[in-house]
Amino acid sequence: MSSFVGVLVSDQWLQSQFTQVELRTLKSKYVSERTQSGRVTVGNLPPIFKKLKAFSELFTEDEIKDALAESYQNMDEEIDFESFLRAHLNLQSRAIAKDGGSKSSSSFLKAATTTVHHAINESEKASYVAHINNYLAEDKFMSQFLPIDPSTNALFDLAKDGVLLCKLINIAVPGTIDERAINTKRVLNPWERNENHTLGLNSAKAIGCTVVNIGTQDLIEGRPHLVLGLISQVIKIQLLADLNLKKTPQLVELVEDDKDVEELISLAPDKLLLKWMNFHLKKAGYEKQVTNFSSDLKDGEAYAYLLNALAPEVAGPSALNTSDPTERANMVLEQAERLDCKRYLTPKDIVEGSPNLNLAFVAQIFQHRNGLTTVDSQKMSFAEMMTDDAETSREERCFRLWINSLGISTYVNNVFEDVRNGWVLLEVLDKVSAGSVNWKLATKPPIKMPFRKVENCNQVIKIGKELNFSLVNVAGNDIVQGNKKLLLAFLWQLMRFTMLQLLRNLRSHSQGKEITDADILNWANNKVKRAGRTSQMDSFKDKNLSSGIFFLELLSAVEPRVVNWSLVTKGETGEDKKLNATYIISVARKLGCSIFLLPEDIIEVNQKMILILAASIMYWSLKKPEENITPEASPKASVDGESETDLVDEVSHLAIDEVSNLAIDETTSENASSS
């Protein structure tokens, strides 16, 4: 099962939009047309799509042709298979809208996968515009375009260059993007614009956004529903940034005993915000329980009680004395403004129960007046004990963001808690090794019977062994018990397997050996050497890597124009190393590498993350010349003068005698077995 290789697409996002059954069907249609006509053009698509069941009853051939004409000016333009798939997706979104899709886009509380419908919530748009105008007003580059008028499409036009998204990400999670890597000229060429969007999307994934339904072309075209969906996720992350025990340890006041602290740590930020709100409402004498950010807040009473409890000096009982919900909502907003909460929603938004805007409003109140003062020393010490060390926290963060980037149905808030029932791990395994999971033997949460969790986890271990993971003396119950060392070792092997699979799939037509860690190391060294550079790495734990010079030379070797050497330091001091490491991560994401490490992982030479970084750059480099090649075409040169055949040979004939000291596998084995 683990050796299954289906129809492969070099663009991971595009691959994720289709099942293998759909890909095989569409591939056969594409190949059949190319065989008959010698090539596939835009003009060939209407009759092909018309015959597909999804479109046959919804569109005529002329309607399909008109839809295609919006994206393609020349109907005789030849298209490759990926463009064929993109055209299909575009028509599919129209089909959903035409067939009675959702009339509103509620993307704040949902994953981006829900934003396929095209209707725009104007109140939300106005709120996000106000947020942008407020937080980016002092930015030297963005200030020339602000303030944005929410009544126009200026927001979507501004988003087309990609700078806006990058700036918002850095507001939400400071330091995510090295702004030296953003192309900020007044007029960008297509290459520079695409680089900005690639950097933005990969960075959005790296802070926890779900972007499986969004590609760079969507942002270049400024598609409103997708732009708003992504911006809303970034703003949500910013507003909920303090909703955790590390940032706000006073949150332990919300629970009664040590056992509840453990539950508190695993809560999603929006659930924690509800718990905080109900904590204060109960103390204020409000008898109802607020379970959502929509219907439970429509009458405004909960807000009136909350503000009266948190800030009686600006609130008072006046809002409680009125019987009109709209009037009460207006009074609540006026009171909140006295606490410096920006007015990003209207009384109408409260009365109509807008979940996204209510969430934002409650989060703002929390930021300005959380009302948590007393700290129980016993609960605080237990909370500190529950907090992981820096390296464990970084690894948990990396694996959590990676899992969420895969587009599985379950969103992971805390790896160590959320994977213990086995279901998330089964979803991930099915994603990275299609067909490996026997879903008939799996139990979907909520799971009340403990032995069902063990059954799920036993299947996880079984599949892991089939994939040749090192799982000596490891059983499903170890996952159920939440053994952190074991979980990190398992997830590391899972991420590494996925990366090696991607590399193997790029060269599936070759009869060469499997890609190994040693191959990646030698490929990187050879690439740098052939570019005329002198840096080399002895292993993925080579302490010399902390300067960042090797990876900057590697990035420059795979794409000469991507590194601005005037920005690179010698990497001798701690500050210089930090500057280089931050720049490396942004440049790699700008190229198209989907990576989740932090600058500290490079500075401290975390060998696991160093391997993934090198493998990601290798994957980008090897897949690049394969794009847009038809079977009839001869091997064509890449940016550094190599042909596709050269690249395959480069991987197939890598020597492995230089890496006898490589210890990644051994380390993983030790971690797993010692658990």
Q: How far apart are CA 217 and CA 587, in angstroms?
A: 20
Question: What percent of the chain stands above pLDDT 90?
Answer: 46
Asked if residue 392 has pLDDT above 90, the reply is: no
pTM higher than 0.85, yes or no?
A: no
Lowest mean pLDDT among 113-117, 193-197, 395-399, 434-438: 113-117
- The CATH superfamily label for domain 249-383 reads Calponin-like domain (1.10.418.10)
pLDDT at 657: 31
- For residue 509, name the pLDDT band (cuts at 50, 70, 90): very low
Q: Specify the CATH architecture of the domain 122-240.
A: Orthogonal Bundle (1.10)
Fold classification of 389-506 (topology level) = Actin-binding Protein, T-fimbrin; domain 1 (1.10.418)
Asked if residue 591 has pLDDT above 70, the reply is: yes
Burial class of 352 by CB neighbour count within 10 A (0 to 12, 13 to 18, 19+)? middle
Question: What percent of the chain stands above pLDDT 70?
Answer: 83
- Higher-scoring residue by pLDDT: 381, 206: 206
* Whether 622 contacts 506, CB under 8 Å: yes
Q: How far apart are CA 477 and CA 483, in angstroms?
A: 9
- Domain at 12-102: CATH code: 1.10.238
**CATH entry, 517-623, from 1.25.40.10, 3.20.20.70, 3.40.50.300, 1.10.418.10:** 1.10.418.10
Residue (of 311, 366, 360, 299) closest to 335 by Cα position: 311
Asked if residue 660 has pLDDT above 50, the reply is: no
pLDDT at 428: 95
Q: Is the dihedral of CA 30, 36, 40, 45 positive or negative?
A: negative
Which residue is it, tokens 């200030």?
A: 143
How high is the mean pLDDT of the chain?
Answer: 82
Lowest mean pLDDT among 10-24, 319-333, 346-360, 403-417: 10-24
Three-state SS for 606-626 is: CHHHHHHHHHHHHHHHHHHHH
> Which string of b and e fits 304-340 if b means at least 16 CB within 10 Å?
bbbbbbbbeeebeeebeeeeeeeebbbbbbebbeebe
Mean pLDDT, residues 118-143: 89
How do the domains of the chain map onto residue ranges?
Answer: 12-102, 122-240, 249-383, 389-506, 517-623
Asked if residue 605 has pLDDT above 70, the reply is: yes
pLDDT at 342: 80
pLDDT at 653: 39
Q: What is the pLDDT of residues 28-44, one digit of tens each?
A: 888 888 888 788 888 88
Q: What is the pLDDT of residues 397-448, one digit of tens each?
A: 999 999 998 888 888 988 998 999 999 999 999 998 988 999 999 999 988 8
pLDDT at 635: 36
List the structure tokens of 26. Answer: 């569409």
pLDDT at 50: 85
- For residue 389, name the pLDDT band (cuts at 50, 70, 90): low
Q: How far apart are CA 561 and CA 555, in angstroms?
A: 9
Q: What is the pLDDT of residues 267-308, one digit of tens each?
A: 889 999 999 999 999 988 888 999 999 989 998 899 989 998
- For residue 666, name the pLDDT band (cuts at 50, 70, 90): very low
Residue (of 622, 363, 361) closest to 515 by Cα position: 622
pLDDT at 385: 53
Q: What is the pLDDT of residues 224-268, one digit of tens each?
A: 888 999 999 999 999 998 888 888 888 888 887 666 777 777 788
Q: How far apart are CA 240 and CA 272, in angstroms?
A: 10
| Residue 572 CB-half CA count within 13 A | 1
Asked if residue 115 has pLDDT above 80, the reply is: no
Lowest mean pLDDT among 99-103, 442-446, 491-495, 513-517: 99-103
Q: How far apart are CA 45 and CA 644, in angstroms?
A: 29
pLDDT at 645: 39
Total count of residues recorded for the chain: 675
Helix (H, G, I), strand (E, B) or coil at 78: strand
Query: Could you check whether 389-506 and 517-623 share the same CATH topology?
Result: yes
